[in-house]
Amino acid sequence: MPFPHVLLALFVSIVWGVNFVVMKIGLEHLSPFLFVVFRFAIVLALLFPWLRIVKGHMGLILAAGLCLGGLHFAFVTVGLELAENITSIVIIVQMHVPLTLIMAHFLLKERLSYWRSGGVLIAFFGVLVISFDPAIMEERMAIIIIFTATSLYSIGAILLRKLQTVGIFNMQAWTAIFGLPILISLSLYTETGQMEQVMNLDREGWSAIFYTAVLSSVVGYGGMNFLLKRHPVTLIAPIFLTVPVFATTAAVLVFDEVLTTRFLVGSGLTLCGLAVIHVRDWWKKRQLVRELLP
Average pLDDT for 175-202: 93
Q: State the Cα–Cα distance between residues 149 and 154, nearest whole angstrom.
A: 9
Lowest model confidence (mean pLDDT) among 49-53, 109-113, 122-126, 268-272: 109-113
Alpha helices in the chain (DSSP H): 3-26, 32-47, 58-68, 70-82, 86-93, 96-107, 114-131, 140-160, 168-190, 194-199, 203-210, 221-228, 233-236, 243-255, 261-292
Please write the tens of the pLDDT for every residue from 81-113: 887 777 667 767 777 767 777 777 677 766 667
User: What is the percentage of the chain residues whose pLDDT exceeds 70?
Assistant: 81
Q: State the Cα–Cα distance between residues 124 and 273, nearest whole angstrom.
A: 8
b/e burial code for range 201-221 (CB count within 10 A of at least 16 → b): beeebeebbbbbbbbbbbebb
Angle at CA 138, nearest 5°, toward 136 and 94?
45
Place 239 in a pLDDT band, splitting at 50, 70 and 90: low
Please write the tens of the pLDDT for every residue from 10-33: 898 899 889 989 998 998 999 999
Place 237 in a pLDDT band, splitting at 50, 70 and 90: low
| DSSP assignments along 204-270, one per residue | HHHHHHHIIIIIIIIIIHHHHHHHHTTS-HHHHGGGGGGHHHHHHHHHHHHH-----HHHHHHHHHH
Predicted pLDDT at 107: 73
Indicate the helix (H) or strand (E) that contains 56. Answer: none
**Contact (Cβ atoms closer than 8 angstroms) between residue 266 and residue 259:** no
Of the candidates 217, 158, 180, 165, the one whose C-alpha atom is nearest the C-alpha of residue 54 is 165
Other C-beta atoms lying within 10 Å of the C-beta of residue 190: 11
Q: How far apart are the first and last CA of the chain?
A: 20
Predicted pLDDT at 43: 95
